[in-house]
Amino acid sequence: MSYIKQLDSLRALSMVTVIIVHWYPKGTSLYTVSAYFNAPSIFFTISGFLITSILIKERSRTEAVSANKLETFKNFFIKRALRIFPGYFLVLGIWYLIKPDAEVIDYRYFLTFTSNIYIYKIQTWPALAHLWSMSVEEQFYFIWPWLILFVNRKYLMHTIILFIFVGIISQVLIPQNNYSGVLTVNCLDSFGLGGLLAWITLNSPELLARHYKAISVVAGISLLVLLTQGFLNKFYIQETTLASIITFWVITFFITKDDSKKYPLSFLFENKILMQIGKISYGMYLYHFFIPYLTYPAFFAINKFLHLSLKPHVINRIWMVESFSLLMILSFFSFKFFELPVQKLKVHFTAVPAKKEADKKQTILL
């Protein structure tokens, strides 16, 4: 499976909606549209797709040479740690140094990647609440590799489908509120849908082209239901599941499309700037929370010094542009001089050499 460059653009668009939801005034039209985007579900579906693809390939390589699957699991987890841990713990360290006195959090949960459980426990959004999704990802990494590497191949697809249904059923059985979505079990449908797409792509790719129209219809209905429920403010089907189904279709489109032909929104998903933003989106996600704490006083002092006698909402827009620019710069330097050098250590943890350069590129950017 070749590197799907459009996923970087999809990451970038999702990341922009996250920033809008966290920085923009609640209740505005831009906030509402960005909230509909449901970025965490998109990220989880992409992650399920890419991680499952990597694990299935690693399993095939391992079995081909009769290598130790436990070694494969260890190498996989170390490589994920090299991708996630440095930036994550850097953010925790920075917050510990700059934290406002009023923003007290229980670091035990953040240090052990259980902040999602912490949020559900206290039923409020504390400082660094955005890191709940990283906790969900890490908990997923503890479970998923065992299944993909060790479950009998004959039952692997059935196991993935079972996880999808577990995620959907849990959203029915567990009382739903503003915080229930952070529980890992409620996210399994997103990971599972991505994993199912990976399994089909690697084992029966012809099914995607054959059933593409049906997938498109289901995705279209999901989008319609998502928008209708939001308009009526009544939710009968979880929006996370609907967003994941739509993401499943989007990835399927990129896999099956004719590269020689233009397509609607190609100007967006083929945009090189968006692709570059997608590559640094992990840093943007980590740093975007505390940027306002650092920039708000400074930028307002500068704007006042420049005698910008503008209306408050205009000043706020200027501050957002300035903060976003700073976030982009910080994330770029973090990616180039901190994240990439650490990720290069991954080459020391490959049990069976990868055969395709595209696989290596997809892995290092994941």
pLDDT of 316: 78
* Residue pLDDT tens, the chain, 366 long: 678 999 999 999 999 999 999 988 887 788 888 888 889 999 999 999 999 999 999 999 999 998 899 999 999 999 999 999 999 999 999 888 887 666 778 999 999 999 999 999 999 999 999 999 999 999 999 999 999 999 999 999 999 999 999 999 999 899 888 899 999 999 999 999 999 999 999 999 999 999 999 999 999 999 999 888 877 777 777 889 999 999 999 999 999 998 878 888 899 999 999 999 999 999 999 999 888 877 877 777 777 777 766 677 777 778 888 889 999 999 999 999 999 999 888 888 775 554 544 455 554 456
Neighbours of 175 (CB within 10 A): 5
pLDDT of 361: 53
- In this structure, is the dihedral angle defined by the CA atoms of residues 187, 188, 191 and 196, taken in order, positive or negative? negative
Distance CA 323, CA 69 (A): 46
In total, the chain counts a number of residues equal to 366
pLDDT of 306: 74
pLDDT of 301: 78
Neighbours of 296 (CB within 10 A): 13
The angle at the Cα of 319, spanning 316 to 325, to the nearest 5 degrees, equals 145
Token pair 């029966």 is at which residue? 204
* Domain count within the chain: 1
pLDDT of 146: 95
Distance CA 366, CA 8 (A): 10
Dihedral angle of Cα 346, 347, 352, 353, to the nearest 10 degrees: 130
Q: What are phi and psi of 175, to 5 degrees?
A: -55, 125
Does residue 233 sit in helix, strand or coil? coil
Whether residue 275 lies inside any domain: the answer is: yes
H or E element in which residue 186 lies = none
Distance CA 162, CA 189 (A): 9
Q: Whole-prediction pTM value?
A: 0.91
- Please answer whether residues 43 and 11 qualify as being in contact, where contact means their C-beta atoms are separated by less than 8 angstroms: yes
pLDDT of 364: 47
* Residues 276-311: tens digit of each pLDDT: 999 999 999 999 988 887 787 777 777 777 776 667
Distance CA 40, CA 130 (A): 10
* Residues 185-195: tens digit of each pLDDT: 999 999 999 99
pLDDT of 310: 66
Whether residue 175 lies inside any domain: the answer is: yes
pLDDT of 126: 92
Residue 34: which domain range? Answer: 6-365
Q: Which of 238, 117, 121 is nearest to 176 (CA)?
A: 238
Neighbours of 105 (CB within 10 A): 19
Whether residue 1 lies inside any domain: the answer is: no
Rounded to 10 deg, the angle between the 39-64 and 69-98 helix axes is 150
